Amino acid sequence: MKSHYRVVVIGGGVVGASVLYHLAREGWSDVALLERSVLTAGSSWHAAGGFHALNADPNIAQLQAYTIDLFEQIQAESGQDIGLHMTGGLTLAGTPDRWEWLQSAYRVFQSIGVEDCRLVTPEEAGALCPIMSTDGILGGMWADREGYIDTTGTVHAYAGAARKRGASVLEHTRVEALEQTADGWRVITDKGVVTCEHVVNAAGLWAKQVGRMAGLDLPLSPLKHHYLISDTIPELESLDFEVPMTVDLEGFTYMRQDQKGILLGIYEIDHEHWAMDGAPWDYGMELFQEDTDRIERELILGFERYPALQEVGVKTWVNGAFTFSPDGNPLVGPVPGKRGYWVACGVMAGFLQGGGVGKSLAEWIIHGEPEADVWGMDIARYGAFASNRQYIRETTGQFYTRRFVMTYPNEELPAGRPLKTAPAHDAMTAAGAHWGVSWGLEVPLYFAPPGFAETPSLHRSNAHDIVGAEARATRQAAGLIDISGFSRFEVTGPNARAWLDRMMASKLPARGRARLAPMLGHDGRLKGDLTVFNWDDETFWITGSYYLRAWHMRWFDDHMEPGVQLRDIADATVGFAVAGPRSRQIVQALCEADIGDLPFMGCGVFDLGLIRAHVGRISVTGELGYEIHCDAANHVALRRALLAAGAEHGLREVGFNALLSLRLEKSFGIWSAEFTQGYTPRQTGMDRWIDWSKAFIGKDAAVRERDGPDPEQMLVTLQVDAAGADASGYEPVWQDGAKVGFVTSGGYGHTIGASLAMALVKPQAAAEGTALSVHIVGQKRAATVIAASPYDPAGKAMRA
């Protein structure tokens, strides 16, 4: 072992080995992997080695596709056989809703460029997998590039290929402690001390302890998982092909061929956590006793699906453990506040996802940003709230149990809730609020009469008309919405203005004004669609999406400068927005000052009744409207005062679902849909807010985009000839049978009475009036490009 490496990767499972390989491939060879035992000695040695294409997050599905494409490459580079069996794969649907969902998923794959899939009938599925009973199957999806690999061979291939590029692999070297230094980390091992600039926690089952070595409490836990390997199945002996990797979603099982038998893996409904603080240090390459009582229901379904199992014995049982984060996706990236400490853990499907995780993390360490949009696996999608033990137990358990259970887009799952509630939560609940969750905080979706229950659906739900009434009330009179679920950062200090000016690509607002402010990364891609407020005293606020709080804070911290104080005030400050043509009268009724003096995009501090509030004249609804921020202690009083003042003006409490419909009618983009870290200003129209005359982070790249060729995609608004279901996101957009783009978000425009979508399409399909089509819940629907902002295109209402 040398005394210093540029990067030390802790953990020689598939994830650590992939990180090492990708660092070396990017040209960093002064890197070492430390493994306490031998390579694969965590979850990796006993994994089933299966890989398949589906993931609910299209960006992660793309990284999975990358991993699958990498297998042959690491085998060739390393010379290590990885036992690749590209058998193809089947995903089965056993209920009408699932079949619709699978057809939608197939279309999403087309959107993201995973082209080697097709839908199959039950008969075709039966022919592709002759040992399977097709009873109850309504259809399936076939993917060419699914199958299985030899797990130990694959880890050694990653490590071997990394070694060939100059990286070091040190087995039997256990990391015992970590100490942060001025320029990196001291890594204390049982074989001595090594220093490095960057340390990567890829410790799998032990990631929790390796997190604690740096004072971190990572939101993850291992759970147990079973599979069995059968004795030889005579029908398989007579086949001249291998049966495909087959996932029976309604049966909670996955299956692949193993020699002349099959491997049947089970996602247990009755899940079991293990070693929530991380595996013990003396845990070796061990398995747990199988627990067939616990998995009886799933076994019965599996034995019915593959009847040959009823005739042959079980050769091997595997009951092992692997690690889960609350949403089941990996935890990857730099840890806020711990410079040079990176995580690549919580990787539930390391053989399927390890390539994409390794690639993204290596790019991040070396270039400062990963190439792909990795929000879905970024550690910064969680905050401190997610480290709570019960939260971890409930959410990881829920994910595990529901791994193969269908979640509807309008379904609210209960784990880890309610956790954070705004002070007026109970009063809003009494008024009929139905709640969603954002970063642990309960946010109102809509207000319904007592006893109303929303039916989970892929189509418009029974809450459609309720949301419609809220949207119309806002346009006709006024809507009141809890805006506690905004992020709020306060920026003060002698350098506040100069610092913000560098961080934001837009002009900064003058005193008493607010401004929409795109923020860019160094690579010129979007980092935020923020609003900056400049209060009277040159105190600035940055507001944005609540769930991006830790993500933005990490970025701000990384670019902090002397003379700037930045505070996250999003929990201490909450509020309500009032929007609609009557909103001015409502706010005025509480205010002695003349609120009419506040211009569009103006802001100031006002006394509203007893409450001192920060008020901005701004609304995402496209109406005249006010965002009213107050101390958390005033939240209940503010709501009461506004409702009282609004009673004679038709003020109605509304939820975020109405807001989403209203903003769509204005073609206002939102983060995670029209704007993401994968997109650029010109592509999304964000460039209209950029102040090209000043210096800001990402300017060079943004100028190159501005002066370069036309972007390959442009953001447009579509009116869709939908029937009973609206677009939601990632549906493919077609022109004369050719794919020209995909939907970024969609929904029903309740006040204009039309189904709408926003989409990124090729320039030749972007002109107003162009006839296109969109797949919605598997069905092709006609769509037309319309002018942006179908409601009030001139913007008169919001400027009124």
Ligand X SMILES: Cc1cc2nc3c(=O)[nH]c(=O)nc-3n(C[C@H](O)[C@H](O)[C@H](O)COP(=O)(O)OP(=O)(O)OC[C@H]3O[C@@H](n4cnc5c(N)ncnc54)[C@H](O)[C@@H]3O)c2cc1C
What residues line the site for ligand X (CB under 6 A)?
A: 10-16, 34-37, 41-44, 46-50, 174-175, 202-206, 210, 225, 227, 318, 320-322, 345, 347-352
What letter would DSSP give residue 755?
E
| Neighbour-count burial of 719, counting CB atoms closer than 10 A to its CB (0-12 exposed, 13-18 middle, 19+ buried) | middle
- Name the residue nearer to ligand X (CB basis): 34 or 587: 34
User: Nearest approach, Cβ of 380 to ligand X (angstroms)?
Assistant: 19
- Name the residue nearer to ligand X (CB basis): 254 or 391: 254
The length of the chain, given as a count of residues: 800
User: Nearest approach, Cβ of 222 to ligand X (angstroms)?
Assistant: 9
User: Nearest approach, Cβ of 87 to ligand X (angstroms)?
Assistant: 13
User: Nearest approach, Cβ of 173 to ligand X (angstroms)?
Assistant: 6
- Please enumerate in sequence order all residues whose Cβ is within 8 A of that of 566, keeping only pairs 6 or more positions apart, or say none: 489, 490, 491, 556, 557, 560
User: Nearest approach, Cβ of 518 to ligand X (angstroms)?
Assistant: 36
User: Nearest approach, Cβ of 320 to ligand X (angstroms)?
Assistant: 3
- Name the residue nearer to ligand X (CB basis): 247 or 595: 247
User: Nearest approach, Cβ of 218 to ligand X (angstroms)?
Assistant: 12
Give the H or E element holding residue 62: helix 58-78
User: Nearest approach, Cβ of 205 to ligand X (angstroms)?
Assistant: 4
Q: Report residue 496 as tokens.
A: 């506040």
Pairing, β 31-34 against β 168-170: parallel
What letter would DSSP give residue 378?
B
Place of tokens 């609940």: 429
Q: Report residue 720 as tokens.
A: 């869709």
DSSP of 675-715: B-TT--HHHHTGGGG--TTS--TTHHHHHHHHHSSPPS-EE
Strand order in 486-492's β-sheet? 513-520, 526-534, 540-545, 486-492, 565-568
CB atoms closer than 10 angstroms to residue 324? 27
- Name the residue nearer to ligand X (CB basis): 64 or 751: 64
Helices 350-367 and 14-25, interaxial angle, to 10°?
40
User: Nearest approach, Cβ of 229 to ligand X (angstroms)?
Assistant: 11
- Name the residue nearer to ligand X (CB basis): 318 or 605: 318
| Neighbour-count burial of 178, counting CB atoms closer than 10 A to its CB (0-12 exposed, 13-18 middle, 19+ buried) | buried
CA gap 67, 64 in Å, rounded: 5
- Name the residue nearer to ligand X (CB basis): 345 or 658: 345
- Name the residue nearer to ligand X (CB basis): 14 or 108: 14
Q: Are 459 and 633 contacting, i.e. CB atoms less than 8 angstroms apart? A: no
Distance between alpha carbon 138 and the CA centroid of its chain, in Å? 30
Closest among 628, 629, 617 to 513, alpha carbons compared: 617
CA gap 444, 421 in Å, rounded: 10
Pairing, β 478-482 against β 573-579: antiparallel
- Name the residue nearer to ligand X (CB basis): 320 or 334: 320
User: Nearest approach, Cβ of 19 to ligand X (angstroms)?
Assistant: 9
- Name the residue nearer to ligand X (CB basis): 400 or 541: 400
Q: Are 619 and 479 contacting, i.e. CB atoms less than 8 angstroms apart? A: no
CA gap 172, 157 in Å, rounded: 19
- Name the residue nearer to ligand X (CB basis): 338 or 694: 338
User: Nearest approach, Cβ of 3 to ligand X (angstroms)?
Assistant: 18
Q: Are 38 and 54 contacting, i.e. CB atoms less than 8 angstroms apart? A: no
User: Nearest approach, Cβ of 500 to ligand X (angstroms)?
Assistant: 39
CA gap 360, 354 in Å, rounded: 10
- Name the residue nearer to ligand X (CB basis): 278 or 485: 278
- Name the residue nearer to ligand X (CB basis): 338 or 507: 338
Q: Are 162 and 39 contacting, i.e. CB atoms less than 8 angstroms apart? A: no
